Amino acid sequence: MKKFISLIFFVVLITGDLYSQKDEIYDKYEVFDSHFHLTNYIQKGIDVHRFLEIMGDKVGRSVLFGIPLQQQWSYMNSGEDAPKYYLDSDAPLYYYSFTDAYIAMQYISLTDEEKKRFDPMITGFNPTDMYAADHIRRVLLTFPGVFSGIGEFTIHKEFVSSKIAGEIASLKNPALDSIFSCAAEVGLVIILHNDINKPFPKAYTGNYLADVKDLFRRHPDASIIWAHCGLGRIIQPIKDMAASMQEFFDDPGLSHVNFDISWDEVAKYIVRNDTTVQVVAAIINKYPDRFLFGTDEVAPANQESYLKVYRMYDPLWNALTDDAREKVRKGNYKRLFDAARTKVRAWENANKN
Ligand SMILES: [Zn+2]
């Protein structure tokens, strides 16, 4: 009997331990970051160990990507004036595939416990190239056990898209479809940046919403996050934005599409006043499974600047239900990226040489 009781005790102890292990990171931290850049437009940034310090006791998990584009330092354009950002020079941007190896090596330098807190993403492909999907598969098989998704990568982005050397990206390019198909087949989360509208829309210009929806509908098996809900520094919400977005929630053909509310430039629209907070909170409270928090910080210097966007959202956090707040901060991240980890590892195992 004594043996039996100690056996029961042992089993409870073990399963209790397994359970707490499973959700240890989830329980211990306040928020997960679904949109984070370790490096900038000239491929410089912070070391992942420094990023862990900055995440501190606040941020439990984060995606990990650089920026797929490199700003060329053209001496003929700017001389000794070395650009650090895409607006600093007229010289072009080009796709910098080495970012994937760099991000993988940063991840590999972590301990097993630390690795659990990151979801590295592949970004170093040209979305107009029919060979882009081959690059993604090659990265996965070169660095198995590392990546959970692709992106943030960009199709339409103010001032950026037109600066990229070579063919202009398009939502209608079959190369983009082959990338989405590859991600769906492997189980990779897709984080896509595509402005919802043109930077300075006119009466005669169209927005990108219909083409975005068509693209997403063509790939119902993909796990998609539309970065910044299509908004940006000068990309304002379109007329009747809430109504235009409703289709994403009503149409089962778009139920695989989620939205991140990352970037201070997006937060500024949402927390502009009580009305904007209430409108957005009502949508998120109604569809709490569809939104993720992200910072969109690029190589932050310290925790205070890293968490600036998180703090900006205080009025929104206060306006959400407990359930919605929990899902936007952590629950949806865990669900999407845990599913991706499982599927991508299985694909890697099935396809290794
Ligand atoms: Zn970003």
What HEC string does the chain produce? Answer: CHHHHHHHHHHHHHHHHHHHHHCHHHHHCCEEECCEECECCCCCECCHHHHHHHHCCCEEEEEEECCCEEECCCHHHHCCCCCCCHHHCCCCEEECCHHHHHHHHHHHCCCHHHHCCEEEEECCCCCCCCCHHHHHHHHHHHCCCCCCEEEEEECCCCCCHHHECCCCCCCCCHHHHHHHHHHHHHCCEEEEECCCCCCCCCCCCCCCHHHHHHHHHCCCCCEEEEHHHHCCCCCCCCCCHHHHHHHHHHCHHHCCEEEECCCHHHHHHHCCCHHHHHHHHHHHHHCHHHEECCCCEECCCCHHHHCHHHHHCHHHHHHCCHHHHHHHHHHHHHHHHHHHHHHHHHHHHHHCC
15 found inside a domain = no
16 found inside a domain = no
Q: How far is the CA of 196 from the centre of ligand 1 (A)?
A: 15
Can you give the CATH number for the domain in which 145 is found? 3.20.20.140
User: How much is the average pLDDT of 246-255?
Assistant: 95
User: How much is the average pLDDT of 126-144?
Assistant: 98
Q: How far is the CA of 145 from the centre of ligand 1 (A)?
A: 24
Q: How far is the CA of 307 from the centre of ligand 1 (A)?
A: 15
Q: How far is the CA of 318 from the centre of ligand 1 (A)?
A: 25
Q: pTM here?
A: 0.93
User: Please, which pLDDT band fits residue 2 given cuts at 50, 70 and 90?
Assistant: low
Q: How far is the CA of 331 from the centre of ligand 1 (A)?
A: 21
Give the domain extent around 263: 33-351
Q: How far is the CA of 69 from the centre of ligand 1 (A)?
A: 12
Q: What is the pLDDT of residue 238?
A: 87
Q: How far is the CA of 267 from the centre of ligand 1 (A)?
A: 13
Q: Would you say residue 20 has pLDDT above 70? A: no
Q: Would you say residue 167 has pLDDT above 90? A: yes
User: Please, which pLDDT band fits residue 8 given cuts at 50, 70 and 90?
Assistant: low
Q: How far is the CA of 119 from the centre of ligand 1 (A)?
A: 15
Q: How far is the CA of 37 from the centre of ligand 1 (A)?
A: 7
User: Please, which pLDDT band fits residue 112 given cuts at 50, 70 and 90?
Assistant: very high
Q: Would you say residue 15 has pLDDT above 80? A: no
Q: How far is the CA of 123 from the centre of ligand 1 (A)?
A: 11
276 found inside a domain = yes
139 found inside a domain = yes
Give pLDDT tens digits for 262-290. Answer: 999 999 999 999 999 999 999 999 999 99
Q: Which residue has the higher pLDDT, 323 or 234?
A: 323
22 found inside a domain = no
Q: How far is the CA of 28 from the centre of ligand 1 (A)?
A: 26
Q: How far is the CA of 219 from the centre of ligand 1 (A)?
A: 22
Q: What is the pLDDT of residue 10?
A: 52
Q: How far is the CA of 12 from the centre of ligand 1 (A)?
A: 44
Q: What is the pLDDT of residue 3?
A: 57
Q: How far is the CA of 100 from the centre of ligand 1 (A)?
A: 16
Q: How far is the CA of 16 from the centre of ligand 1 (A)?
A: 38
57 found inside a domain = yes
Q: What is the pLDDT of residue 185?
A: 98
24 found inside a domain = no
Q: How far is the CA of 151 from the centre of ligand 1 (A)?
A: 9
User: How much is the average pLDDT of 121-131?
Assistant: 98
Give pLDDT tens digits for 173-218. Answer: 999 999 999 999 999 999 999 999 998 999 999 999 999 999 999 9
Q: What is the pLDDT of residue 233?
A: 86
Count the domains in the chain: 1
Q: How far is the CA of 152 from the centre of ligand 1 (A)?
A: 6
Q: How far is the CA of 193 from the centre of ligand 1 (A)?
A: 8
121 found inside a domain = yes
Q: What is the pLDDT of residue 313?
A: 98
User: Please, which pLDDT band fits residue 21 given cuts at 50, 70 and 90?
Assistant: very low
pLDDT above 90: percentage of residues in the chain: 88
